[in-house]
Amino acid sequence: MKYEYCKTDFIYETSRGDSSVQSGSVFDSTLQNTWKAALERGVFRYALNIQHSKILEGKFSFVAQLNTDRALKRRAPEEITSLTQPFDHDRFNFTKIDETEILFELRRKCDTSTNRHCVIINESPLEFGHCLLLPSRLNCLPQIATQHSLQLAIEIMLLSSNPAFRVGFNSLCGYASVNHLHYHGYYLNYSMLLEHISVQHLSGPCFILVNYPAKGFVFQLPSDKCPETLARDVFKLTNFLVCNNVAHNIYITRGTDFSSSHTNSKICNTVRVYVWARKSSSGAKQNDAFNPAICELIGHLSVKTEAAYWSLTEEQVVEMLSDVCEGPFGQVTDSVKELFED
């Protein structure tokens, strides 16, 4: 199955309103219907079963969900030792998946290249619609964000009219589990703080997230609403981090414009892209509650055990996120500022 699109399909403003997580655009319907069909066929390692969900008490509104199946039944992550580890054809990669795992191919109508972009299931889902975007799947690219793949990830965000849809990326040594270029996408039907939190200008198109435990860098869709411009700016930063051997995570979400005075507005009038420089996960101690990858950095905590779920507090999460990001953020901020002053 192919899903073809062009710029006229992009949706630049959405509203939370009273919409259900299972609603939205033609893209949303395509993703949700093919995902549910795969679930009914038993393609996943387990049927999604979030036993409990809650918002942790405190000012950050972290969402905790108990998902023991993901902790127990997911494929063992690949051992990652370097941010620039080469692609290995002998290890598991997305050319080895069963065809039943492919939901659809994604193609721009004006694209004359032979690149084949795929959207496939995440066989160990953590939320409804959990899928993987595989840019140029058969090119066997390592898990390093490219400008082209960032643009593709931003474009699928613009194809969805459902503000519950999220896109994320874990670098190597940033809890990526497979060294084959991929982005996560899924629906999380909670209003998250990072959709409207205030940010501070750093330089050029780059802003910083400071009033949050995980300090990081932020970009938004520019005034010309061009995904290519946004992708170019984000890539400038991620390429700098790769060149300096700094692990990182990327989050793409609907949200309010940085200049908006209505921080709690239900209107989402831009796309925000967050980039966190973070401590390497290579050799990191495993946490009983959760591992701080992209979902946890945004405040969505997929908790491994029932004991950890019931005892988890905002203070514990704040401590973990601060530990992961504060040092690397401080080390690179001056250089990032200079990077965007050019």
Residues 6+ apart with CB under 8 A from 75: 45, 92, 123, 124, 177
> Which tokens go with 87?
């692609």
Query: Catalytic one among 130, 180, 182, 300?
Result: 182
Catalytic residue at 117? no
* Cα–Cα distance for residue pair 40/29, rounded to 1 Å: 16
* Cα–Cα distance for residue pair 176/160, rounded to 1 Å: 25
* Cα–Cα distance for residue pair 28/129, rounded to 1 Å: 9
Q: Which of 48, 265, 240, 231 is nearest to 157 (CA)?
A: 231
Q: What is the radius of gyration, based on Cα positions, of the chain? A: 19
> Which tokens go with 274?
């967050």
Q: Which of 153, 100, 106, 107 is nearest to 123 (CA)?
A: 100
Q: Which of 247, 213, 220, 254 is nearest to 234 (CA)?
A: 220
* Cα–Cα distance for residue pair 338/336, rounded to 1 Å: 5
* Cα–Cα distance for residue pair 211/227, rounded to 1 Å: 27
* Cα–Cα distance for residue pair 342/334, rounded to 1 Å: 13
* Cα–Cα distance for residue pair 18/82, rounded to 1 Å: 45
* Cα–Cα distance for residue pair 98/247, rounded to 1 Å: 30
Residues annotated catalytic, as ranges: 182
